[in-house]
Amino acid sequence: MPPAVVQQPQVVAEPEVVVEPQVVVEPTFESDPFINQQILAIEAFIAQHQIDEAGLILNTLSFNQLSIDQQTRYVLANANIALSVGDGQAALTWLSGEYAYLFDGLPLQEQIALNLKRAQAYEFSGRPLPAARERIFLAPVLEGETAVFNQEQIWFDLQLVPQEQLLRLADRESSPDLNGWVQLALISMTEDDDLRRLLTAVEQWQLQNGGHPAAKLLPRSLQMLNELAISQPTHLGVLLPLSGPLEKAGNAIRNGLLAAWYQARQSGKGTPELTFYDTATNEDIGALYRQASQAGVQAIIGPLSKARVRRMAEIQDLSIPVLALNYADNRIERVNNFYQFGLAPEDEAIQVANDIWQQGVRRVMIVAPASAWGERVSDVFIRDWELKGGVIASKALFQQPDQYLTNIKNALNIQDSEQRYQLLRRKLDQDLVFEFRRREDIDMVFMLAFPAQARQLKPILNYQRGVDLPVVATSNIYSGMDDPDKNKDLEGVRFVEMPWRLSPSPIKKRVAEAFPDSIDNYAALVALGVDAYRLYPRLPQMSAFNDVRIQGVTGTMTMSDNGRIQRALDWAEVHNGLVRRVSSSELME
**In this model, does residue 13 exceed pLDDT 50?**
no
| Of 357, 349, 460, residue with least CA distance to 414 | 460
Per-residue pLDDT, averaged over 305-330, amounts to: 90
The 10s digit of each residue's pLDDT in 194-205 is 788 889 999 999
Of 322 and 513, the structure prediction assigns the larger pLDDT to 322
The 10s digit of each residue's pLDDT in 228-251 is 888 889 999 999 999 999 999 999
The 10s digit of each residue's pLDDT in 131-142 is 999 999 999 999
Query: Other C-beta atoms within 10 Å of 381: how many?
Result: 25
C-beta separation of 227 from 197 below 8 A:
no
| Of 284, 280, 276, 281, residue with least CA distance to 311 | 284
Q: How far apart are CA 212 and CA 203, in angstroms?
A: 13
The 10s digit of each residue's pLDDT in 518-536 is 777 899 999 999 999 999 9
C-beta separation of 548 from 275 below 8 A:
no
Q: To the nearest whole percent, how much of the chain has pLDDT over 70?
A: 89
Q: Is 272 helix (H, G, I), strand (E, B) or coil?
A: coil
The one-character DSSP state at 20 is P
Contacts of range 487-491, beta carbons closer than 8 Å, 24 or more positions apart = 487/455, 487/574, 487/577, 487/578, 487/579, 488/574, 488/576, 488/577, 489/454, 489/455, 489/456, 489/458, 489/459, 490/451, 490/454, 490/455, 490/458, 490/574, 491/458, 491/574, 491/575, 491/576, 491/577
Distances (CA, A) of 306 to 71, 114, 215, 344: 57, 48, 44, 12
Using CA of residue 29, residue 35, residue 36, residue 40, what is the dihedral sign? negative
Phi (first) and psi of residue 194, to 5 degrees: -145, 105
C-beta separation of 103 from 114 below 8 A:
yes
Q: Highest-confidence range of 61-70, 169-178, 416-425, by mean pLDDT?
A: 61-70
Q: For residue 213, is the peptide bond before it cis, meaning its omega torsion is within 30 degrees of 0?
A: no
Task: With cut-offs at 50, 70 and 90, classify the pLDDT of residue 429.
Answer: low
Q: How far apart are CA 404 and CA 407, in angstroms?
A: 5
pLDDT value at position 417?
A: 57
| Of 292, 290, 298, 295, residue with least CA distance to 316 | 290
**In this model, does residue 19 exceed pLDDT 90?**
no
pLDDT value at position 190?
A: 84
Task: With cut-offs at 50, 70 and 90, classify the pLDDT of residue 416.
Answer: low
Per-residue pLDDT, averaged over 371-397, amounts to: 94
Q: Give CA 429 to chain center in angstroms.
A: 56
Using CA of residue 470, residue 476, residue 482, residue 483, what is the dihedral sign? negative
C-beta separation of 507 from 263 below 8 A:
yes
Instruction: Find the DSSP H helices in 267-340.
Output: 285-294, 306-313
**In this model, does residue 5 exceed pLDDT 50?**
no
**In this model, does residue 147 exceed pLDDT 70?**
yes
Q: Is 351 helix (H, G, I), strand (E, B) or coil?
A: helix
Q: How far apart are CA 124 and CA 389, in angstroms?
A: 14
Mean pLDDT lowest among 115-119, 140-144, 503-507 = 503-507
| Angle between helix 414-428 and helix 404-412 axes, rounded to 10 deg | 80
Using CA of residue 456, residue 461, residue 467, residue 469, what is the dihedral sign? negative
Of 167 and 427, the structure prediction assigns the larger pLDDT to 167
Per-residue pLDDT, averaged over 77-98, amounts to: 90
Pairing of strands 338-340, 494-497: unpaired
Q: How far apart are CA 103 and CA 73, in angstroms?
A: 10
Q: Give CA 238 to chain center in angstroms.
A: 29
The 10s digit of each residue's pLDDT in 330-342 is 666 778 899 999 9
Q: How far apart are CA 113 and CA 542, in angstroms?
A: 30
pLDDT value at position 379?
A: 96
Q: Nearest-5° angle of CA 349, CA 584, CA 498?
A: 55
Q: How far apart are CA 382 and CA 369, in angstroms?
A: 14
Q: How far apart are CA 119 and CA 298, in angstroms?
A: 42
| Of 540, 485, 543, residue with least CA distance to 226 | 540
Using CA of residue 569, residue 372, residue 442, residue 353, what is the dihedral sign? negative
Of 64 and 330, the structure prediction assigns the larger pLDDT to 64
Q: How far apart are CA 377 and CA 375, in angstroms?
A: 6
SS3 letters for 448-493? CCCHHHHHHHHHHHHHHHHCCCCEEECHHHCCCCCCHHHHHHHCCC
Q: How far apart are CA 403 and CA 116, in angstroms?
A: 52
C-beta separation of 360 from 354 below 8 A:
no
Residue 310 contacts by C-beta under 8 Å, 6 or more apart in sequence?
328, 329, 332
pLDDT value at position 428?
A: 63
